[in-house]
Structure 1
Amino acid sequence: MVDSWVFVDGALPASADTVTEALRARIAEGALESVLESSAGRTLFVVSNTERALVMLLDRPGDPGEHATDPRADSADWSDGYVLANGQEDEYPDAETVPLAEALRIVRHILTTGRPPSDASWTIDR
């Protein structure tokens, strides 16, 4: 059985059918960091700068996790504007983030199957 997911900041349920629209709406409203938690205790972080996103999946608290990567990005390019819920603004290498449309596709797939799509570039940090 696939886990159920909720947005941590409001405990709103998230499903594969609604998560893309919900994330787009949150980003449009300026909420660039979204955290979802599964019924199995997994955590999915999505931090965007409106063009790209860091997508990170943790199996449990303290887990180094795993994240989506972009092998087509220039390793020297960095993007800023990733604003966390606490107001901190981060920057990340483009190779460690993905275009927003790809991030949304990955998140939808994780909520559907419990794992990233097999065709997504993915790095395990454990």
Structure 2
Amino acid sequence: MSGAMAGPLGDDRPRPLARVVDLFGHRAAREDRPGKTPVAPVTPRPESAAITPEQRLAISIEALFLRRDLSLSDPETAAAFGVAIDAVLLVLDGALANGQIEAESHQFLGQQMQALLSVPDSL
């Protein structure tokens, strides 16, 4: 299946859609379709395997990278991602020091950036 979608932030270059693989089960093949071998039925995901907010964030961030033919599972890409987050933390520190943001905002945004640092490990 092929398709294209516009990139985020106004980048209108077509990008191929990434193929999604469900790691928790596979749809059973229909026996009435010629040439299709039946597979085991889908096993429902147990309640304990529900996706956490941290995992949902990791999936969303990884999707941004996949749209650019990159992946945070690549050690070099993950390292560059960490450097970018460090740069944002530096900017936040500067904004606090210059009185451009309040301490409460600095703390909140810093915590959000720290959460992003764990994304590569969550994949």
Query: TM range, normalised to the smaller chain?
Result: under 0.3
Answer with 1 or 2: which has the greater Rg: 2
Which TM-score applies when normalising by structure 1? 0.27
Which TM-score applies when normalising by structure 2? 0.28
Determine which structure has the larger helix proportion and give its number.
2
